[in-house]
Structure formats: C-alpha cells, structure tokens
Amino acid sequence: MTSRFRSSDSSGAVNSRAPRRRTVVKAAAATAVLAAPLAAALPARAADEAPAFLHSVASGDPLPDGILLWTRVTPTSEAIPGSGLGPDTEVSWTVAKDKAFNTVVAKGSTTASAASDHTVKADIRGLQPATDYWFRFSAGGTDSPVARTRTAPAADAAVAGLRFGVVSCANWEAGYFSSYRHLAARGDLDAWLHLGDYIYEYGSGEYGTRGTVVRPHAPAHEILTLADYRTRHGRYKTDPDLQKLHATAPVVAIWDDHEIANDTWSGGAENHTEGTEGAWAARQAAAKQAYFEWMPVRPAIAGTTYRRLRFGKLADLSLLDLRSFRSQQVTVGNGEVDDPDRTLTGRAQLDWLKAGLASSDTTWRLVGNSVMVSPFAIGSLSADLLKPLAKLLGLPQEGLALNTDQWDGYTDDRRELLAHLRSNAIRNTVFLTGDIHMAWANDVPVDAGTYPLSASAATEFVVTSVTSDNLDDLVKVPEGTVTAVASPVIRAANRHVHWVDTDRHGYGVLDITADRAQMDYYVVSSRTKADATSSWSRSYRTRSGTQKMERTYDPV
C-alpha cells in the first residue's frame, strides 16, 4: 500500500533517516518473545496429543491438470509458528472427486519440519481440467478439515464463463474478515484473487484502526525476522473466515508491500531503517521465505510472484510483482517520475508482460496488478479532505496530482505498456487492482489530459480493502460522508474515472463471458463486527472490443 506515514524529508531517502518510534525493537530478542501471543490464540494441547491442523488447509494456482495444496501441521504444543520447535512429522494428502472420498485420484506424503515452519505443499498433477476436487491432509492419525478446490479449464477449451472473487488489504487489527466469509458462502467461484497486503507488518496499534485495536497482532512488535513473519502469517491463518474461503476455492495471490514493509522498493522500504532494524536484504529474504512457506503460491520467475495462468480460450491472467524490481519512489515536483531509467516493473518483467499480452489468443487478457495503473489527479478538494486523502494515497499534502508509489510515479513504464497495447491493437485488457483502499471503475487513457476525446487502451477494476483504513476511517466520520463530497470532485478532475467509493470495505466478484467482463462490487456492514452482513453496491462492465467502462444494474 502507498505510504500513510511518510516522513516529511523531501530528499526521498528512506534508509538514511534517524530511527523512528518503532525502531527500538530488538530483532535479536524477537524469537524469545514471539511464542506467547500466538500460543494464547491457539487451542491448548497436551504434550502427548496427536498432531493438529490448527491453520486449516488451502489450495492455489490452478492448472488444467493440477493444483497446489497447502497446510501447516502443529506436531506438538510448543511447535507454534515461528518457534523453530517441533519434530519432523510425516504428513500425507488425499485428493478425491467426491467429498466422501469414495473416488480417490491422488495420494502422497512428505515430511514437515521446523526448517519450513512445518508447512506443507503438494503440487498435484494428472487431474482433469475444469473439475471440482476435494482434499485433506493427515498426520499421526489426525485428519485435517476437508476442502474443495477446482482445476482450470483446458488450454484450448471454449469456456462459457468464469467467476473470481477479488480482494486486497486485510489489516488484522482493524476488524474481522467478513468479506472472506461472504465470498466463501457463494459456492460459485472458480478461484479467488488476492491482489496484495494479505498480511500487514506493523506493530500492534501502529496502523489505522480508528483508535481501537479490534484484535491484537502476533507478534505485538513490528515484524522483522523470519520468525516474526512466520508468526504473523500463522496468526492470519487462524482467522475462521479466511479458513472458510481457503477451503472453498483455490486462491491466486500476489504480494504488495505489506507482506514485506510499507512502500517496498528493490533496495529498501519507507518502513525500514537500515541498521537499527537489520539489513534490508535479510528482512526482504525473510519476508519472501515466509510468504512462500505459508501461501499456496508457486514461486515464479526469479522467486517472485509474477507468473501467468490460463483459463481456456476465455482468459489468461498475468500476475505482476511490482515490489521486487522497482526503483525507489521519488518526491513529486522534481521531474524524476518521467525518468526512463527508473522502473516499476523491471525490464525483464515488462518485456514478459508485453510479450504475453501480444501473443495471447484468449478473449480476455487479465492483469493482476497491485497498485493502480490509471492516472490520478486530486482536483480542488477542500483542505479537510485533501490532507487525509493525501495521507492515504501517499501524496504530498499540498495536493500535487501524483501518487509516486503507483504507476503515476513510473510514467515511462506506463507509457511504454499503453503504447504497446495501442500499436499492437491488443484489445480486452483488464487490470485488476487493490492497494488503494477504495473501489474504482476506470478507463485507462493513453492521454489523460485529452480523455475522452483520446483513446482508452484498457479498463481497470479496483477493489476496496477488506478492513484497512479508507477515507471515512481516516477522517473518523460516518461511512459514506466523504464519498458524497470527494467522489464528484475526483471524477471531475479524472474524466476516465467512472466511479469511486472512498469509504466502504468489501470485495469484488469478477464475472467473465465472451461478451463482457463485469465486476460486481460488494460492501460489508461493519469491519468491527464478526457477523457483518454483505450487500451489493454497484456493477461495472467492459464489453468485448470497446476498452470502455459502463455501469450495469444487473449483478451476477
């Protein structure tokens, strides 16, 4: 997510500043103190009790012939996440075509050890395309919960439709993950996309909760070490709503910055002080190792999250990593945002994306994109709204029209990508975006200054946060108050923006047919109530061949 706690240092340097309020954390002491908070959240178990699957099970990255299965076994009571304790434990898996496991199609086993934090992955192949399967794990006579997963359609299959849940930005301390529960209850998802900020790295009480920590992090301090990141992932995987969604459909996930540290770039982060908080390279490596241990994601190119999945002839999905290769963010007004030597994607990833979009023979080209690609100008907002909006977006509070953590801060990469789409007549490109804690429906203009007279190269659906602060939370006013004032001003200054909701939490459901790609936006009634309800908010779609967004009143 973009910086909401950026220093006023105008130099843009992030690693040379004096230590901030959180840098007193001693990394060397982390392992010794991390066990108690998470242990308190888990069921008490006797030392001689059988292994348990306290973090449930998950699946991800569906292929036509395979699926990646995941679990974490707790072999003994002291072997909590990040502890480094616990014996090697044999874990087996079973995959079947029916929930009763009468028709078993795959079996296997492996050894879970403290070296991988007792997490287990099984990359199952030889399955049938576009097929529901059920799976479970076993260890020491104990079975895990049973979960459903689904393979992707065959590469050459004529697919009538696809349906994906779409989420991002889940701050544990800010509330409950009701969005996950409501997506799980649908029972009609081919998969669900998590577009980043699956976890947050901050210490307890350090990140937006409207002044109330609904449920505390573990560990309580900001996470820095491998043990810390493992513990935080473990805490998240105890959430019952998240467990339900993981047990209902496969996830396709990418990371953004908070899986590592706020405003991550290739050589550091806004929320990292070199030396006081250890070496950046060590922290980044620890965060990535824990991520791949705890997430049902296949390590992709160069051990990152950029990769591509295909869903028959209907759609392919290019998934980006916009943190591992990017140049450092710059301050606004110094002209460096247009520097062709600066990059958001890295040269290799941008070439890979361009080549994949050009060679695709599917009807739709989806791009899983962690930060907003559409340009954004603030316009003439009142001072009381400008300051919190600038804080949320990482903008200078004087209101210059740029967000340097997003594609706006790397305009040469964006210009090259959009020119590629136009010059090669690549149609039906849809960016799916998180990060910004607001819901948007955008055209992606080649030239925002002359839009709509000039062309749109693609469209973009941006989903709001599951729980992380949006504008009404920052201003601390009733839900909907800010949107009523800010949305018309934002749209007037950004004619490619069809809709923006600055205030509510929720999720999206992307429904795709050969004729259109449609996002149904849903909101939850409260982020602080575990039983929050869900309701449809709006729907937008782009018709095949148009590169334009339109509102529809017919949610799917």
Contacts of 473 (CB under 8 A, 6+ apart): 174, 208, 210
Question: What pLDDT score does 379 carry?
Answer: 66
Taking the whole predicted model, whether its pTM rises above 0.75 is answered as yes
Residues of 232-269 as b/e, b for ≥16 C-beta within 10 angstroms?
Answer: bbbbbbbbebbbbbbbbbbbbbbbbbbbbbbbbbeebb
Query: SS3 sequence, 184-240?
Result: HHHCCCCEEEECCCCCCCCCCCCCCCCCCCCCCCCCCCCCCCHHHHHHHHHHHCCCH
DSSP, residue by residue, 24-77: T--GGGHHHHSHHHHHHHSPP--TTSPPB-TT-EEEEEEETTEEEEEEE-B-ST
Helix axes 383-393, 481-493, angle to 10 degrees: 80
Fold entry, domain 162-552: Purple Acid Phosphatase; chain A, domain 2 (3.60.21)
Residues 251, 523: Cα–Cα separation, whole Å: 20
Confidence of residue 394 (pLDDT cuts 50, 70, 90): low
Contacts of 233 (CB under 8 A, 6+ apart): 81, 199, 290, 291, 293, 294, 295
What secondary structure letter does DSSP report for 437? S
pLDDT tens-digit readout, 221-230:
999 999 999 9
Q: Could you check whether the bond before residue 81 is cis, i.e. omega within 30 degrees of 0?
A: no
Confidence of residue 381 (pLDDT cuts 50, 70, 90): low
Contact by Cβ (8 Å): 56, 243? yes
Domain ranges, ordered by start, for the chain = 57-150, 162-552
Structural element, H or E, at residue 459: strand 456-462
Question: What pLDDT score does 208 carry?
Answer: 78
Question: What pLDDT score does 335 carry?
Answer: 63
Report which residue type is found at 87.
Answer: P
At 340, list the tokens: 């062709």
pLDDT tens-digit readout, 310-351:
999 999 999 999 999 999 998 766 668 888 999 999 999 999
CATH code for 57-150?
2.60.40.380
Helices (H) and strands (E) in the chain, counts: 11, 24
Picking from 467, 498, 472, 469, the residue whose alpha carbon sits closest to that of residue 485 is 472
Residues 90, 29: Cα–Cα separation, whole Å: 31
Structural element, H or E, at residue 242: helix 240-246
At 133, list the tokens: 């399967």
Confidence of residue 198 (pLDDT cuts 50, 70, 90): very high
pLDDT tens-digit readout, 46-80:
556 799 999 999 999 999 999 999 999 999 999 99
CA–chain centroid gap for 433, Å, is 9
- Compute the average pLDDT of residues 82-107: 98
Higher pLDDT residue, 29 or 430? Answer: 430
Strands 104-112 and 89-96: antiparallel
Confidence of residue 195 (pLDDT cuts 50, 70, 90): very high
Contacts 24+ apart (CB under 8 A), 352-360: 352/301, 352/306, 353/318, 353/320, 353/417, 354/416, 354/417, 354/420, 356/308, 356/316, 356/318, 357/318, 357/420, 357/421, 357/424, 357/426, 357/429, 358/420, 358/424, 358/426, 360/316, 360/426
Question: What pLDDT score does 402 carry?
Answer: 62
Residues 512, 518: Cα–Cα separation, whole Å: 6
| Range name among 66-70, 132-136, 299-303, 441-445 with the lowest pLDDT average | 299-303
Question: What pLDDT score does 385 carry?
Answer: 67
CB atoms within 10 A of CB 145: 14
Average pLDDT, the chain: 89
Residues 512, 159: Cα–Cα separation, whole Å: 10
